[in-house]
Amino acid sequence: MDDGSTDQSSLIADDLSAEDSRIRVFHTANSGVAAARNNGLKNARGTFVMFVDSDDWMDPTIIQDMWERMEQTKADLVTCDIAHSVEKPTPPQPNEHPAFHLYSNKDYLRLFFKIDSNEWVHYPVAKLYQRDLLPQPLYPEDIRVGEDVFGTYLAIANAQTIAKVEKVGYFYYFNPESATAHFTEKDFDLLKVWDRMLEVTEGKDPDHAYAEVNRNRINFTLLLRLLTEVPTKTRKSAFKEQQEQLRSDLKKCEASLLHSPIVRSRKIMIYLLCHCFPLMELGGSLFMLLRKLSGNKIADAQRRSLS
């Protein structure tokens, strides 16, 4: 899927498709990642589907490893571990029989909703799907940030058994200088994501209750990101109204969150944001200074730990 690329990747893809009839290339004009994935899924012909972002890398044998586990366990979906990297990793030594773990739909959804954990499993990548189990369109195209959360939920909801290959098979490239590495107005779309998750899980328990916890928690996530990613002057001018709304909403759901099944470290920060906001503002400023001095090396770890 060529979504308005401006480098040579479009030409490379066309050359490859001319050499191999199995490769088909579709060109669109900056329709967005959700539309690109939906278009790819619409035009796919294979039994299986795997999404791979253009600037990431994969272990050379991971697709075979995942397919073999699917055949062996009859799982509806297979996933693997992800590593975040800023440079192409050295290919690991082949592992003929990597360990794997089986999850029921119920247990894996607990990970997805971060119930009693802080796992990140909402990525659309690093997963091998059975195409006929994926609803279409899979991703909402009117959401700019977090559309993968919605689509991944729909995919997991249709999978009765999920297998995880205990191996780092997908390397996610994190560029600390990219637009997506910094807080922008688009990030408030996460509120819309979880409003929609409440709608799609209506009548489905415990999914709806889990979605409600995450809808309340997103107030905390966005507020903490504002404090740790946006300079004070910009935050108080460009995002003053949103910040006050997040603070108000977080205070309203504080008691519910403190009694919810989320990890203790998040509860502590929620309490501090509600009762010691000036101290958290100072901590956010110090964090940004430390990140700047360290050359943004801790930026990705911070982003992955907040939600």
Q: How far apart are the first and last CA of the chain?
A: 29
Which two three-digit tokens encode residue 64?
């075979």
Q: Final residue of a domain: which of 140, 173, 206? A: 173
Does residue 103 lie within any of the structural domains?
yes
Domain of residue 76 covers: 46-173
Same domain, 162 and 279: no
- Same domain assignment for residues 183 and 296: yes
Clarify whether residues 191 and 274 are in a common domain.
Answer: yes
Confirm if 280 and 260 have CB atoms less than 8 A apart.
Answer: no
Is residue 15 domain-resident? no
Question: Are 189 and 165 found together in one domain?
Answer: no
Q: What is the pLDDT of residue 307?
A: 52
Closest CA to 51 of 167, 149, 170: 170
Out of 123, 142, 173, pick the residue that ends a domain: 173
Task: Please give the structure tokens belonging to residue 31.
Answer: 């329709």
| Residue 245 CB-density burial (10 A; 0-12 exposed, 13-18 middle, 19+ buried) | middle
Give me the pLDDT at residue 109, please: 97
Name the 3-class secondary structure at 171: strand
For the record, the structure tokens of 80 come out as 């693997």
Three-state secondary structure call for residue 162: strand
What is the reported pLDDT for 181?
A: 58
Judgement on whether residues 104 and 84 belong to the same structural domain of the protein: yes
Lookup result for tokens 């809808």: 215
Predicted pLDDT at 295: 64
What's the rounded Cα separation, in Å, for the pair 270 and 246? 12
The residue type found at 242 is Q
Max CA pair span of the chain:
63
- The reported pLDDT for the residue numbered 179 is 47
Whether 102 maps to a domain, the answer reads yes
**Looking at the domain assignment, is residue 9 inside a domain?**
no
Does 33 map to a domain?
Answer: no
Task: Note the pLDDT of residue 58.
Answer: 92
The confidence score (pLDDT) of residue 91 equals: 64
171 bridge partner residues? 57, 83
pLDDT per residue, tens digit, the chain (307 aa), is: 999 988 888 999 999 999 999 999 999 888 899 999 999 999 999 999 999 998 899 999 999 999 999 999 999 999 999 998 877 767 666 667 899 999 999 999 999 999 999 888 999 999 999 999 999 999 999 999 999 999 999 999 999 999 999 999 999 887 665 545 579 999 999 999 999 999 999 999 999 999 999 999 999 999 999 999 999 999 999 999 999 999 999 999 999 999 999 999 999 999 999 999 999 999 999 999 988 887 655 455 544 554 5
Whether 21 is covered by a domain: the verdict is no
Position 87 scores a pLDDT of: 75
166 and 207 in a single domain? The answer is no
Domain-terminating residue out of 173, 201, 231? 173
195 and 298 both lie in a single domain: yes
